[in-house]
Each structure stands twice: as structure tokens, then as C-alpha cells.
Structure 1
């Protein structure tokens, strides 16, 4: 075991970071006092009237100028029963997409120290430009068609020798039929 004198010098932090905020009120107090926090956006059930349940937590984005400076202020990603905090830069917040985009577009801006830039980013998340909408729609349609094709009971991916005229494969090794499938007969109309 090494004695205290043999431990290499480790630089000490001038001001050790305070404990992470684990509740919403502490976060708001600490974030409004920290100059590194440029904006706060609340999303999820607490951002909408009538959506809060006893199980709801506060989903908050803290938009910061510098993640290291925010970490020193005790604001880094945190999850608790009351708070789900994500810390990101302005550019990181601007790049969020997918399901996060949907949640942010319906979020509420709590703090904007950039003269409306945070609010503009939130508003822009609710709109897609034409090219962006076309790319997104093509991706969603492709994903739907892929899942639809793979889940179809007549999918040729499952059974390469599938014949739509019968319920058995004509070439699949698991097929128990030794005869050729017959064409279904039609019922006479009444």
C-alpha cells in the first residue's frame, strides 16, 4: 500500500462542484444563478396543462455555453424521480432530431439569455423545410414498407418457394406436400 507522500500531485479544483440538483426547484435556482446556462427548456407532461400525473418528472434541457463550466457549477446530466436533466450546448440543442425534436417543439422555454434564440430554435423544431420533410417522409415510408413486407404471411423472405395459390411452399424443405399445389376452385354464384 502506498503512503500519502508517494501519491502523485493531482491538481485540486479551486471550487469543488456542488451536488447535482435532483429536484426541479433546485435546478431552476441553480441554473438562473449560473451565467454558463443560456437557456432552459421544459418538455414532456409538465410542459402541458392537464398532462401531469403522480408519476411525472420534469424533463429539462439546460442549454449551456460550455459543458465543462456547467459541470463545475454542478449542472450535468441527471436523472431522479423528479428530474430528468440533459445538458447540451446551443449547437447540440439545435442538432437534436427525431423523437426529441417532437418533444422540444411542444416544450416551454423557461429561460432564454440569448435574446430569443432559444425560443426560435424551439419554434423551428415544429416545422420541417420541404427538403427535410421529403427526406423524413421517404425514410418513414421505407421503414413502413420494410416492416410490412417482413411481417406479411406471404412474404417471400420467409419462404422462397411460396406460391400464392396454396398455403404450402412448393420448394421449402419443411413442406410436407409431395404433390403440386392445385388451383383453388371457385364457388358458383348463387
Structure 2
């Protein structure tokens, strides 16, 4: 697995096992991050972002009391993907092949979208795994711009045993990758005080 350094893979596995999440500033190379950021901005400029909804399938609804981000879904068809997305999907596939046998995750594919939080946007506390579904195994967030202290937009992770206790607060940083077990960690996105851009998705069974 030439994409990864074994020491970091060991840290990732250890952290997922103990804490249910892992944060890395080095798993994704800077050139790929910039290319994905450029794609997100290009989509935004041509109006390919829509207001995000809550729920799933036929029950999806717009509820700005819960979330106010805008999203642009990514096609899983490689014929419709840019080179940057193909490279990112290749990275996720390698990650899947490494983690599946260790955690018995049964991951088969990935779904994701670019997410844009304008000033004032947020996403209230929630769990990524829809009740009764069990398909989302790992949540993966790649940050595409820097947010300084006071800029907001942090992801707050809550303890998997005591959902009111804060486990960690992750500040967006360009190239930072946050991976966590989807069904275990309630989390929220704090109100952004400047535009926030990310690539958010789920590795699914």
C-alpha cells in the first residue's frame, strides 16, 4: 500500500479501536486537496450546490432548524468523475481493503458530497447512521479550507457512551481528514462565521 505510511495506519487502527475516530493532516497529499477544492469551487460557481435536507429517501425534508449547509453529490460512476475524484476514490478503496478485515466492517462502496457552509450555517447534533439501516460504517470528512480560532465550523464529537459529554472538537484545516465510526459518535457542526468547504462522505456496507 504505497499510498500509506505503516506508522500512520497503525495510529489510525489504534485510534478507531479505542476512541472511534481518527484525525490526520498527512493522509491526503496537498496537490490532491487543492484539486478537490478547485472542483468544489467550480461546482459552486455554476450553481451545482443545493440546500441540504434531513431524513432519507421519500422522507427527506428541508429543515433549517437542523441544518443549513448546501451540498453537491458526487457520482460513483468513474466515467463521470474528474481525475481528482478518481484519485480520492482510489485512496478510499485502499483504506477499505486495509480496514475491512481488521474491523469486520464489510465496506463495499462510498457515497459523498461536497459541503458548503456559508456564514451562519450549522448542522445540529446527529448520528450519521440512519436508524434500522446499518449501512454506513465509517464517516469521512476532508476539509478543503482553513478555519482559524473564532471562525466557527468545528465538528464537535460526543462520547459514544455519554452523549452529552464532548469527546473532541475538530477545527477545519485544509487537507485535514476526520474518520469516525458512523453509528457510534453523535456530532454536530458549529455555526460557521466564515465560509467552510469540505468533502463529506460515508464508507458503506
Please confirm whether the aligned pair reaches a TM-score higher than 0.5, indicating the same fold: no
TM-score normalised to structure 1 length: 0.21
> Which has the larger strand fraction?
2
Larger radius of gyration: 1
TM-score normalised to structure 2 length: 0.20
Indicate the structure whose relative CO is greater, using CA pairs within 8 Å and at least 6 residues apart.
2
> Which has the larger helix fraction?
1
